[in-house]
Structure 1
Amino acid sequence: MSGIGKTGIILATLLAALAAPAANAAEARRTPAGALRDGTAIEAITLSNAHGVSARILSYGATLQSLMAPDRAGKVADVVLGYDDLASYVDHPNFFGVTVGRFANRIAGGRFTLDGKAYQLPLNDKVNSLHGGGKGFDKVAWKVLSIKDGPTATLVLGHRSADGESGYPGNLDVTVTYTLDEAGNLGIAYDARTDKPTIVNMTNHAIFDLGGEGSAMGANGHRLTIPAKAITPVDDKLIPTGALQPVQGTVFDFRNGRIVGEGLRDGRDQQIRYGHGYDHNFALDKGVTAKPELAARLEDPASGRVLEVLSTEPGVQFYTGNFLDGTFIGKHGHLYRMGDGIALEPQKFPDAPNKPNFVSARVDPGKPYHHAMIYRISVAR
């Protein structure tokens, strides 16, 4: 064979190798998920890696519908609570896995003041505004802006929240970027730009059961670690008082890890009585960070699955599903009740617009909002 022939074969082989998909490349796949009553088509986008981890995201609510993860024996299960079909997310909203905004968590009386002007939000939590109030980001059809495979599979969703929508000022252009890599990191990045001063506080409201959603034991036996010396204690309306309360010597001390169920029903603690369990913001020791750092670590001793939650934000809301009462049918016909899953929602502190000593939730023109968080899935052997 001539030298030219050999060179041609080698070159062809190299080109073929470059053109072939990487064996461990993460993939993104889109499928129809149904339509809203007005005919708006909703899509489901699944990000998956080569190690059994996959995330299914609905364009409705930018919702994490499922997160599949293997246990120590390699058995894959869905570790987030939710619904099997789009209609249930629309007709029976429970914030399962949704993107919440403009302002995650509670604002007292649904009122805040910005530059001397008062704003009133819808009251959807008795006397408070919760997770945006009214038609929050969890109840809109997001646009699929881009999808790509690669070492990291990526989905970008976009939404414009109009000036005055649900009472908030400013036209807000928002994107949510989901990413999944081969190491089991499911990243979620929130970015927003406004044309007038407003408030923004976004997060994901996934409710986790690392034993697999609907498991017999639920999440009460999970071991939780939160690196926080203090919580922001609440009043009987679940609004922070503005103080920081040390966790030492209380059922809120998760610094060295503790089983969730140990303090869940401890009625001797006034804060547990107010929340009907855990429904509290932890002031993370790390504060605001440039890159995501550890906000919480959750481990299921039975399955070995581990979830680490990392974030750039200063707080994490720990919620034990206290308002799940078996009213609605979840995935696979499961009736979810208190303790069947827990939420770990990294964010700014609740009612921050009304608490000058809390990290500000204000966003101005030319100064975009950004929150990067990661759900890191692994297995403890």
Structure 2
Amino acid sequence: MKVNTKYLNETWKLFILKNDLGMEINILNFGGIITKISTPGKNGKVENVVLGYDNYKDYKTDPYFFGAIIGRVAGRIENAHFSLNGKQYELETNDGVNHLHGGSNGFHQVLWEGETFESDAYAGVTLHYISSDGENGFPGNVKTAVTYTLTNDNELILDYWAQTDETTPFTLTNHSYFNLTGNLRDTIHNHHVTIASHQFAELDDALIPTGKLLDVKNTPFDFTQGQKLREGIVSNTEQNQIVGNGFDHYFIFDYGKKENVFVREETSGRTLTIETNQPGMVMYTSNNLDDGITLSEGTTKKYLGVCFETQGFAGSLHGSNFPSIILKAGDKYQKRTAFRFGIDY
């Protein structure tokens, strides 16, 4: 196991984690961005399985949140406001009339302090950031830490920790776009995905939750037995169409299931298992990704990656059907999501 630190300029650092099996993960201190995950396929070739820019400077103006830490609140907040303890808070309208992913200067746009660690069994980096009271409209001073640990089991573990001195909404996620074909060889249409979820949040035309939880049965949202993402991309179901033909929905995880998500890509043999203590996730199939932006292994196009944004649900600020994302003063926010990569021969 090994950790290297590369200085890209006076303030930006790239942390490079390597294990004994040939897996490598690159992480920027800017935005906590995962710029690359290189992992073996069934042919033994180690290839990148996430979308990342060829030029690091492009992350500064990235509208797609490639690989970044999202906070203070991941997801959309309806009409860019919320009420808490009798007080109304106004937020930036950076997604039409709504607030998205913590704002244009959210956690994906800040410099984090980093400290590395390594042993025979793992290597990693912990990033720290203090978000001040009123930052992007949110109350409270929030101390935040995100730890990235790479193991010799080809597992990337993300541990999120935070504490606030004033009650505030708070839920973090990582916004990596996965493509298991390797080096962006193909789109994600044929990624076979299994999700331990029998319910998802219905969206309106503005992609805001209606407050209803829908049953996945007999819909393209039923991944309980596994299916290819293609099924939802080509579907004429209204919920698939309103997000641009595909998925951009919150799935509530079934209680008590250890393995929340399993992904298999046949041509490369790569698999991805996701386990988390978050109550659900947004699965986003890059329906709105523009064409022709230069990445490290090619150029962008629709359906080039799929995000598994494990998180609490911002819709809970305006609806009671969803798990709360309120972090009380003095309480600790402690969440974990583990991504384990394998090979299915």
Please give the TM-score of this superposition, normalised by the length of structure 2: 0.97
Cα RMSD of the aligned pairs, angstroms, is 1.4
Query: Partners in 2 of 1:213 and 1:93 — Cα distance?
Result: 21
Q: Partner amino acid for 1:120?
A: E
Structure 2 unaligned segments of length 5 or more: list them. none
Query: Partners in 1 of 2:282 and 2:62 — Cα distance?
Result: 23
Instruction: Give 1:256's aligned residue.
Output: 225
Q: Verify the 8 A CA contact 1:29 1:46 in the aligned structure 2.
A: yes
Per-residue deviation, 1:148? 3.0
Deviations 1:161-186, CA, capped at 9 Å, x for gaps:
11000000000110000001100110
Per-residue deviation, 1:327? 4.8
The sequence identity of aligned pairs, in percent, is 34
Query: Partners in 1 of 2:115 and 2:19 — Cα distance?
Result: 21
Instruction: Give 1:231's aligned residue.
Output: 200
Deviates more, 1:218-227 or 1:88-97: 88-97
Deviations 1:268-312, CA, capped at 9 Å, x for gaps:
x1101111121111111127x9xxx32211110110000111110
Instruction: Give 1:20's aligned residue.
Output: none
Deviates more, 1:320-329 or 1:307-316: 320-329
Q: Partner amino acid for 2:283?
A: F
SS in 2 for 1:351: helix
Alignment of 1:138-177 (within 5 A): 138-177=108-147
Q: Verify the 8 A CA contact 1:295 1:316 in the aligned structure 2.
A: no
Q: Is residue 2:239 matched to residue 1:271?
A: yes
Aligned with 2:313 (options 340, 343, 349): 349
Per-residue deviation, 1:73? 1.4
SS in 2 for 1:119: strand
Larger radius of gyration: 1
Instruction: Give 1:12's aligned residue.
Output: none
Alignment of 1:159-308 (within 5 A): 159-215=129-185, 217-267=186-236, 269-276=237-244, 277-286=246-255, 293-308=258-273
Structure 1 unaligned segments of length 5 or more: list them. 1-25, 36-40
Deviations 1:23-79, CA, capped at 9 Å, x for gaps:
xxx2111111235xxxxx111111111111111100000011100000011101000
SS in 2 for 1:138: helix
Q: Verify the 8 A CA contact 1:281 1:350 in the aligned structure 2.
A: no
Q: Verify the 8 A CA contact 2:198 2:222 in the aligned structure 1.
A: yes
Count of residue correspondences: 344
Alignment of 1:100-111 (within 5 A): 100-111=70-81
Q: Verify the 8 A CA contact 2:317 2:324 in the aligned structure 1.
A: yes
Q: Is residue 2:327 matched to residue 1:363?
A: yes
Q: Verify the 8 A CA contact 1:214 1:336 in the aligned structure 2.
A: no
Higher helix share goes to which structure? Answer: 1
Query: Partners in 1 of 2:216 and 2:233 — Cα distance?
Result: 15
Per-residue deviation, 1:320? 0.6
Q: Partner amino acid for 1:345?
A: E
Runs (4+) of structure 1 exceeding 4 A deviation are none
Instruction: Give 1:27's aligned residue.
Output: 2
Per-residue deviation, 1:86? 2.0
Per-residue deviation, 1:150? 3.4
Q: Verify the 8 A CA contact 2:314 2:325 in the aligned structure 1.
A: no
Query: Partners in 2 of 1:93 and 1:339 — Cα distance?
Result: 16
Query: Partners in 1 of 2:71 and 2:119 — Cα distance?
Result: 28
Deviations 1:136-157, CA, capped at 9 Å, x for gaps:
0000010113433431112100
Query: Partners in 1 of 2:296 and 2:188 — Cα distance?
Result: 16
Query: Partners in 2 of 1:124 and 1:212 — Cα distance?
Result: 33
Deviations 1:100-138, CA, capped at 9 Å, x for gaps:
000001110111111011111111111211111121000
Q: Is residue 2:61 matched to residue 1:97?
A: no
